[in-house]
Chains A and B, each alone.
With several copies, the nearest count.
Chain A
Amino acid sequence: MTIDTGTTAWMLTSTALVLLMTPGLAMFYGGLVRTKNVLGTMMHSFSAMAVIGVLWAVIGYAMAFGTSRAGIIGWDSSFLFLNAPFDGMLSIGDNKCIPEIVFVMFQGKFAIITPALISGAFAERVKFKSYLLFIAAWTLLVYFPLAHWIWGGGFLTGEAIDFAGGTVIHISAGIAGLVAALFLGNRIGYPRNSMRPNNLVFTIVGAGLLWVGWFGFNAGSSLSSDACTGQALAVTQIAAATGALSWMIIEAIDNNKISSLGIVSGILAGLVAITPAAGSVAPWGAMVLGAGASVICYFALKMKEKLGYDDSLDVFGIHGVAGIFGAIGLTFVMKPDATEVGFLKQLQYQIEGVGIAILYSAAVTLLIIFVINKICGFRLSPAAEKAGMDHAQHGEHGYGFVNLD
């Protein structure tokens, strides 16, 4: 077996691109909160790079991609601290291989961004140290098992199609966000007071970086550098563009004004919906998924207004909803050869996968939050919440220039 330097190059690049998504997410979320919480919100993303970055190397890869124990969880003591995988090789067919450590790093980035995604649901109101505990526990108890089940040889592997993590990442994070938002309750003053984004300019650039990074996310998930990779990139691009265009049209009809936050919300909805499907659909299918995701997310957000809960940055409303839509919807638009078990069976697999992810993520998330809340409290004190996370918890101010130097 020889190393395929081309595929290795693309996988290295994809790893860098997916890493770029975390600062991108920090910008996206950071711009949407109020000024007094901008740093704290960005730290939710950056601290995930630190905590989960270490956790993944120590134990995560072993749990997700170690030898499957009864289909429930992976384990290989030689995988701890990446001992064995550091020098391993991963066959990619055709007597070619890539270094296993590249795959480890690529997957590690997914583990980092998933808990960071959740943080948008309870933005502006949690204790930072409890948050750190939460993401560590959640990744250990929810993400690693789910990744193992669907990708790592667990009991769902080979059943549900989940090309780049619609179920493992977006649905699980979306549901966890919803549960956390409901458990923790609304921000003080929500929805009575208007809570406007402190820096939409920043949010838009963040969305741009997310789009760029998503090419690594989806096209990297093919573990190749060939037609399949190009196709994954193409449908990602097309779904994002269609999602954005659709959201613009909906807004134009509904409001007569097209907003910048609308465009980027459409981009995200399209990107999330195509994530599980990036290996299974043709361009027209990507358009259907992108457009559909925008429509359904738009109305999901309207529904949230009515229900009045405070999923602050719409983690469930975008990632959860578009993730579910994409995972199930792909069955209706996939290429004929994308499944070997036929439409109905595949639909069943997809619904099963989604259902399990929802139930499992909801249950374990609730448990984790409940325990952390008992031990050290999860929600900020009202005084700290009013003063803002940045000053109260981190002793900093995001925009020094607004005040005087």
Chain B
Amino acid sequence: MKLITAIIQPDKLDEVREALIEAEIERITVSRVTGHGKQEDIDIYRGRKIVPNLIPKIEIKIACNEEFVEQAIQAIISSARHNGGELGDGKIFVTNLERCYRIRTGESGGTAI
């Protein structure tokens, strides 16, 4: 099992979710984060341009079995891009998931995903 963590732009959340659902991945956990990368995002404060250090992003976490990893990643990459790829579009990180439990039933392993 793998744990996929994707950082995407907030305005792409709906599209990414739909793409994942098409890829048969329905269970996800989402949170607000802020990120710093190559992208710059200018705000205005009383006539002054300010470049915030941290830009709002969305983090999506997906636990899934090996056979779904590839299609999840492809679904995210293709749906999270702006115009074929812009600065700030985000990252995907994959780590190993050793164990997984469903609290409701207590069952564990691949079926608990």
A-side residues, CB < 8 A to B, are: 36, 189, 193-194, 196-197, 250-251, 254-255, 257, 259, 261-262, 265, 298, 301-302, 305, 314, 383, 386-388, 391, 394-397, 402-404
Contacts and interface: CB of A to CB of B under 8 A. Distances in A.
A194 B32 contact: no
Contacts of B14: 189, 193
A395 B32 contact: no
A386 B14 CA distance: 10
Nearest to B57: A403
* Max chain A Cβ within 10 angstroms of own Cβ: one of B10, B51, B54, B82: B10
Contacts of A194: 43, 50-53
A298 B34 contact: no
Contacts of A257: 44
Contacts of B50: 194, 196
Contacts of A394: 44
Contact of B42 (A314, A383, A395): A395
Contacts of B52: 194, 196
B11 A255 contact: no
Nearest to B83: A383
Interface in B44-73: 44-54, 56, 58
B30 interface: yes
B47 A254 contact: yes
Contacts of A196: 43, 45, 50, 52
Contact of B45 (A197, A250, A383): A197
9 contacts: A193-B14, A194-B53, A196-B50, A262-B44, A302-B47, A402-B32, A403-B56, A404-B30, A404-B32
B44 A403 contact: no
A265 B47 CA distance: 10
A120 B43 CA distance: 22
Contacts of B43: 194, 196, 391, 395-397
Main secondary structure on A side of the interface with B? helix
By Cβ-Cβ distance, the 3 closest A-B pairs, closest first, are: A395-B44, A386-B11, A194-B50
B13 interface: yes
Contacts, number: 67
Nearest to B53: A194
A73 to B, nearest CB: 38
A251 B44 CA distance: 10
A305 B42 CA distance: 17
Interface in B20-48: 30, 32, 34, 41-48
Given A36-B10, A314-B46, 15 more contacts: A189-B14, A194-B52, A250-B47, A251-B44, A255-B44, A259-B44, A261-B45, A261-B46, A301-B47, A386-B12, A388-B11, A395-B44, A397-B43, A404-B13, A404-B32
A336 B17 CA distance: 62
Nearest to A200: B45
A383 B11 CA distance: 9
A296 B85 CA distance: 43
Contacts of B34: 403-404
Contacts of A402: 32
B84 to A, nearest CB: 13
Contacts of B30: 404
A36 B44 CA distance: 16
A341 to B, nearest CB: 38
B58 A404 contact: yes
Contacts of A395: 42-44
B46 A301 contact: yes
Nearest to B13: A404
Contacts of A197: 45
Contacts of A262: 44, 46-47
A251 B50 CA distance: 15
A251 B11 CA distance: 26
Nearest to B31: A404
* Max chain B Cβ within 10 angstroms of own Cβ: one of A193, A251, A305: A193
Given A386-B11, A404-B30, A396 B51 contact: no
Nearest to B17: A193
Interface string B1-23: 00000000011111000000000
A177 B34 CA distance: 34
A194 B58 CA distance: 18
Contacts of A255: 44, 47, 49
B53 A305 contact: no
